[in-house]
Amino acid sequence: EPEVTQTPSHQVTQMGQEVILRCVPISNHLYFYWYRQILGQKVEFLVSFYNNEISEKSEIFDDQFSVERPDGSNFTLKIRSTKLEDSAMYFCASSESGGYNEQFFGPGTRLTVL
């Protein structure tokens, strides 16, 4: 069964450093998403991406964040200058379409900012 994959599973970085989180969505899916979950809190929407551009973003997704689909398979989330409060589990998701289709989630990348 096709699945969303994410790398790395755990990333440790120093405050102020740039990190790139990588995702490979399901191959025939057209919509891509990033969510995050700070420990003990809700899963929160960050951004959605379709047709090579951001279709929606939350207030969390400020200028420090960017997304890219550099080739036909990868979808990346970049945090330009990490802060302590960026420590969280980051989930990538994809869906066939943006309507009523369910989103399929990857296993997550745990980001720890020291």
Least separation, in Å, of the C-beta of 41 and another protein?
7
Report the candidate in 30, 21, 32 with the shortest Cα–Cα distance to residue 90: 21
Cβ proximity to another protein, 14 vs 102, nearer residue: 102
Question: How far apart, in whole angstroms, are the C-alpha atoms of residue 106 and residue 82?
Answer: 22
Residues that bind another protein (CB under 8 A): 4, 6, 31, 33, 35, 41-45, 48, 50, 55-56, 58, 91, 93, 95, 98-100, 102-108
Q: How far is the CB of 90 from another protein (least distance, A)?
A: 11
Q: Which is nearer to another protein, 37 or 64 (CB)?
A: 37
Nearest alpha-carbon partner for 46 in 67, 61, 31, 66: 61
Residue 71 backbone phi and psi in degrees, to 5:
-145, -165
